[in-house]
Amino acid sequence: MLERAQKRFFSEGEKIFTQGETGDCAYIIESGRVEVSVTSDAETAVLTTLGVGEIFGEMSVLDGSPRSASATAMEPCILIIVSSEALSERFQAADPVVRLLINVLLKHVRFSNQSQVKGLINLKASDAKVIASEDKEQQKLDALERLKLEADLKQGLDEKEFQLHFQPIVSMETCKIVGFEALIRWNCPTRGMVRPDVFMEIAEETSLIVPIGKWVIEKACECLAKFEGALSKGNIKNKIFMSINISGRQFHDVNFMNHLEATVANYSLSPKNIKLEVTERCLMEGTTALQAIKMSRAEGFLVALDDFGTGYSSLSYFNQFDIDVLKIDQSFVRSMKSGKKMRVVTQAIASMASGMELSSIAEGIETDEDYQSLKRMGCDYGQGYLFSKPLPFDNAYQYLINDLRSSDRAV
């Protein structure tokens, strides 16, 4: 039930707002009729008559420009007030592309409103008002850039512009390779090498993540089979694993599990050598992801919780589903240097992992000091620039061969 303060009464002939004023709210007509008109010089044109249930006055609230028309009660009216906060919060929260479309539509509506007042069109001036603020220009650029990025991504997928790089993951005990993390790269002809941070978000917001994710799984499995080939050539019994990042949206694809299993079978791999890296965010997105994760584990795949502690993590997750590996985010490794508090937190995460019989992988190890501290804390595995940056396949393969050759491979 709306409070009284959110409604206003207007008597017949009363002005609700006047052209040129700053708009601080929009209105919904609860009862009565409202006339909307535009005046320029001495001429006035009625644009429209509105009735019960219709909204008006929203345009200047949305785009911040002055009222482009006047509104008058044609009979006694009760109007529901929609505050500018209520509208602009929703507007700001909307997808940038939707915001762009709304802004473009507003511009068209203003233009056609003006056109209705004969001889009074001054498009340049009204246009200038609409797009005056730099902020809005930026929003427009952002939204257009996202649309372009999306189109380029689609093309990138068709043109096979993606690559996988592989970052070695080592045993903290021996510094020998135990696995690789597959990390996507996009070699875009017009943008150069684009980081996943830039394009994966867009891919996730659109359905593009599904075909891209499928490609990642196929390529990562193909490469793991080649890495395994190197091991068997060297008569080495140990297995290495492949960590593959999976976005929450991929779990919503009904074919996800079938595709994963078929790919693994196609390359004669064992699911237990595949680690699916999922983020906390993905777990929060509902039961579909949780069920898919459960199913993956039942099929023998291992599941790693990526970026642990960086999101809105809740320790109760651990009660809801099982994981095998906890990845200690590089932000903890970084902040350990800043003082004792963060060292205690990092130690607590490492202890928690071992207490729950999960293995732990520390990310972003850049210095020997990082390595020594994390080793002392009991982390099982590590990855970071100290050992190697993510490498193209050929370099990763060579890295593995060299690693196998150098002294004994510890179990």
Quote the least distance from Cβ 187 to ligand C2E, whole Å.
14
Enumerate residues 6+ apart whose C-beta is below 8 A from 258.
Answer: none
Give the Å distances, CA to CA, from 93 to 96, 302, 306: 8, 36, 27
b/e string for 328-359 if b means 16 or more Cβ within 10 A? bbbebbeebeeeeebbeebbebbeebeeeebb
Q: Among residues 227, 217, 185, 262, which one has the least CA distance to residue 397?
A: 227
Q: Name the binder of 60 from ligand C2E, Ca ion, none, CB < 5-8 A by kind.
A: none
Q: What angle do CA 349, 360, 289 make, to 5 degrees?
A: 90
Quote the least distance from Cβ 31 to ligand C2E, whole Å.
53
* Cα 315 to Cα 18: distance, rounded to the nearest angstrom: 56
Q: Token digits for 145?
A: 């850039």
Q: Token digits for 90?
A: 């929703």
Is residue 245 part of the contact set for ligand C2E (CB under 6 A)? yes
Q: Name the binder of 296 from Ca ion, ligand C2E, none, CB < 5-8 A by kind.
A: none
350 touches 359 (CB < 8 A): no
DSSP code, position 237:
-
Is residue 167 part of the contact set for ligand C2E (CB under 6 A)? yes
- Residue 382's Cβ-side half-sphere holds a number of Cα atoms within 13 Å equal to 29
> Which lies closer to ligand C2E via its Cβ, residue 135 or residue 368?
368
Is residue 179 part of the contact set for ligand C2E (CB under 6 A)? no
Among 64, 76, 96, 196, the residue binding ligand C2E under the rule CB under 6 A is: 196
Quote the least distance from Cβ 378 to ligand C2E, whole Å.
20
Residue nearest to ligand C2E (CB): 384
94 touches 84 (CB < 8 A): no
> Which lies closer to ligand C2E via its Cβ, residue 59 or residue 220?
220
Quote the least distance from Cβ 363 to ligand C2E, whole Å.
6
Q: Name the binder of 282 from Ca ion, ligand C2E, none, CB < 5-8 A by kind.
A: none
Q: Name the binder of 35 from ligand C2E, Ca ion, none, CB < 5-8 A by kind.
A: none
> Which lies closer to ligand C2E via its Cβ, residue 57 or residue 168?
168
Contact letters (x/-) for ligand C2E, 313-342, by CB under 6 A?
Answer: -----------------x------------
The piece of 119-127, 144-152, 244-252, 393-401 that touches ligand C2E (CB under 6 A) is 244-252
Longest dimension (CA), the chain: 94
* Cα 354 to Cα 370: distance, rounded to the nearest angstrom: 19
> Which lies closer to ligand C2E via its Cβ, residue 253 or residue 306?
306
Contact letters (x/-) for ligand C2E, 214-233, by CB under 6 A?
Answer: --x-----------------
The DSSP annotation for 326-391 comes to EEE-HHHHHHGGG-HHHHHHHHHHHHHHHHTT-EEEE----SHHHHHHHHHTT--EE-STTT---E
Q: Name the binder of 65 from Ca ion, ligand C2E, none, CB < 5-8 A by kind.
A: none
Rg of the chain taking only CA atoms, in angstroms: 30
What one-letter code names the amino acid at 201?
E
> Which lies closer to Ca ion via its Cβ, residue 306 or residue 370?
306
Is residue 9 part of the contact set for ligand C2E (CB under 6 A)? no
Quote the least distance from Cβ 7 to Ca ion, whole Å.
51
Q: Name the binder of 167 from Ca ion, ligand C2E, none, CB < 5-8 A by kind.
A: ligand C2E
Among 183, 269, 350, 400, the residue binding ligand C2E under the rule CB under 6 A is: 183
Is residue 280 part of the contact set for ligand C2E (CB under 6 A)? no
Q: Is 213 left (phi over 0), alpha (psi -120 to 50) or beta?
A: alpha
Contact letters (x/-) for ligand C2E, 379-398, by CB under 6 A?
Answer: ----xxx----x--------
101 touches 107 (CB < 8 A): no
What one-letter code names the amino acid at 90?
R
Quote the least distance from Cβ 159 to ligand C2E, whole Å.
18
> Which lies closer to ligand C2E via its Cβ, residue 182 or residue 221?
182
Phi, psi angles (nearest 5°) of residue 212: -65, -45
Among 200, 223, 224, 379, the residue binding ligand C2E under the rule CB under 6 A is: 200
Residue given tokens 């804390």 in the structure block:
377
Summarize as ranges the residues that interact with ligand C2E (CB under 6 A): 167, 182-184, 195-197, 200, 216, 245-247, 306-307, 330, 363-366, 383-385, 390
